[in-house]
């Protein structure tokens, strides 16, 4: 996105998120096998061979008793339409070497997990486009290892719908989607009833809290006009100086960004400050940069990079803008080196080398001679369950993923 028009959140909000997908896959590096094929996340130990086609490092065989480790975390496909299905797989080595001794716990920040059969599972995407995290926890005795990755969910295209029609489970998937929509509609209606009843003081108090839940649900469901009205009503119940207004201002800003009402969105965004959602910071940065307000855009990118540790674009745009503002190249390089454990050395280098909009950043990094200082990605263990407590004598332990 090089023009101001292409940076409009209302027109390209999911394209923006898709740009960062190559830089947010977790756990080692992403091996892109070819057109239409899924990414495979692998750890390449020192000295690993590269006998596979395309020079992809093959994990070296390890004897039983070696440390337990996840060598491959696969997702097929990695980019699906809303309601689409992704097959997940996890390959483990080390430990005792006995598959029966390992426990697999699958976790999803959103969407629905199905067919959790040990090292494999299926993930059904939610109905809202975006980037979503899935993870797996593998345990053997007192030892546990974790891994996560991000999956991209997009608005269905005609081709997606045609492909879904050919699938044997289309009817089941359609019924499930309808059931989820009906559940959301029922929740919206129930909250709406509570909001509408304001006869007594207790009713009005309940209505206030229900309205806050209703606004958040409307925003999550993509009902941006309705969410905007709800947030405006909530804001009307607080004085201008009340700090409790800021979360509602943040919700209002998100709705305005989604509706493409740029001037209003930026004004409300500034009022919400740090309470804004990470993507609101990013959208604000795009708009401010397009309008030539570079210092303000730089601050917005910084906040977005700190708030969303999975999305690399805010960091890279922050680095690019620092160079435009005449900041020292060594400062920019230090920013990349410090942040590299979040995204991974290989993925950052690939992104910088192939994306022309970050050519100046790539040139600064190459000229610095510090490329080797970029680190491989360190797992970011978020939204993953705590290890289960040992079962009491005579009882069976049951591991249940978090909702």
Give the model confidence (pLDDT) of 12-68 as tens digits: 333 333 333 333 323 332 333 333 334 444 333 333 333 333 333 333 444 456 888
**Whether residue 161 has pLDDT greater than 50:** yes
User: Rg of the chain's alpha carbons, rounded to an integer?
Assistant: 23
The model's pTM is 0.51
Among 163-167, 212-216, 390-394, the range scoring the smallest mean pLDDT is 390-394
- d(C-alpha 85, C-alpha 79), whole Å: 10
Domains of the chain (ranges; CATH) run 16-46+59-166 (2.60.40.1080), 170-271 (1.25.40), 277-403 (1.25.40.10)
Q: What is the mean predicted confidence (pLDDT) over 262-287?
A: 90
pLDDT recorded at residue 175: 67
**Whether residue 286 has pLDDT greater than 50:** yes
- d(C-alpha 335, C-alpha 364), whole Å: 12
pLDDT recorded at residue 379: 62
Q: Which residue has the higher pLDDT, 181 or 288?
A: 288
Q: In what order do the strands lie in the sheet with 39-42?
A: 29-32, 39-42, 69-76, 85-93, 120-124, 112-117
- When the pLDDT of each residue in the chain is averaged and rounded to a whole number, the result is 75
Q: Where are the beta strands (DSSP E) in 141-289?
A: 143-154
Q: What is the mean predicted confidence (pLDDT) over 155-180?
A: 63
Q: Which residue has the higher pLDDT, 391 or 255?
A: 255
**Which residues fall within 8 angstroms of residue 210, CB to CB, at 6 or more apart?**
191, 194, 195
Torsions phi, psi for 155 (to 5 deg):
-65, 130
Q: What is the token pair recorded at 336?
A: 């990349």
């Amino acid at each position: 996105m090089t023009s101001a028009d292409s940076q409009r959140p209302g027109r390209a909000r999911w394209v923006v998120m898709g740009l960062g997908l190559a830089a947010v896959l977790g756990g080692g590096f992403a091996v892109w096998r070819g057109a239409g094929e899924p990414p495979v996340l692998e750890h390449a130990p020192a000295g690993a061979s590269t006998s596979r086609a395309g020079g992809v490092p093959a994990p070296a065989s390890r004897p039983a008793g070696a440390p337990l480790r996840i060598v491959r975390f696969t997702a097929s496909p990695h980019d699906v339409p809303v309601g689409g299905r992704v097959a997940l797989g996890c390959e483990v080595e080390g430990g005792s070497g006995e598959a029966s001794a390992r426990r697999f716990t699958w976790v999803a920040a959103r969407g629905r997990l199905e067919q959790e059969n040990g090292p494999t599972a299926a993930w059904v995407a939610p109905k809202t486009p975006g980037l979503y995290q899935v993870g797996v926890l593998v345990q053997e005795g007192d030892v546990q290892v974790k891994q996560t990755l991000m999956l991209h969910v997009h608005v269905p295209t005609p081709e997606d719908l045609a492909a879904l029609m050919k699938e044997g489970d289309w009817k089941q998937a359609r019924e499930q989607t309808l059931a989820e929509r009906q559940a959301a509609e029922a929740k919206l209606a129930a909250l709406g009833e509570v909001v509408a009843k304001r006869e007594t003081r207790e009713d009005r108090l309940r209505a206030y809290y229900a309205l806050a839940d209703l606004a958040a649900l409307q925003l999550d469901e993509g009902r941006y006009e309705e969410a905007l009205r709800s947030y405006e009503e909530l804001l009307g119940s607080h004085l201008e100086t009340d700090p409790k207004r800021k979360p509602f201002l943040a919700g209002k800003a998100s709705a305005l960004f989604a509706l493409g009402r740029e001037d209003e969105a930026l004004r409300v965004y500034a009022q919400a400050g740090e309470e804004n959602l990470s993507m609101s910071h990013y959208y604000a940065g795009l708009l401010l940069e397009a309008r030539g307000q570079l210092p303000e855009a730089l601050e917005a990118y910084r906040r977005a990079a700190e708030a969303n540790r999975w999305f690399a674009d805010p960091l890279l745009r922050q680095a690019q803008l620092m160079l435009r503002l005449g900041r020292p190249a060594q400062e920019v390089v230090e920013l990349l080196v410090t942040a590299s454990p979040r995204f991974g050395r290989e993925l950052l280098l690939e992104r910088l080398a192939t994306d022309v909009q970050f050519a100046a950043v790539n040139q600064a990094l190459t000229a610095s001679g510090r490329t080797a200082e970029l680190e491989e990605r360190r797992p970011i263990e978020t939204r993953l369950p705590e290890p289960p407590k040992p079962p009491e004598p005579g009882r069976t332990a049951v591991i249940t993923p978090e909702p």
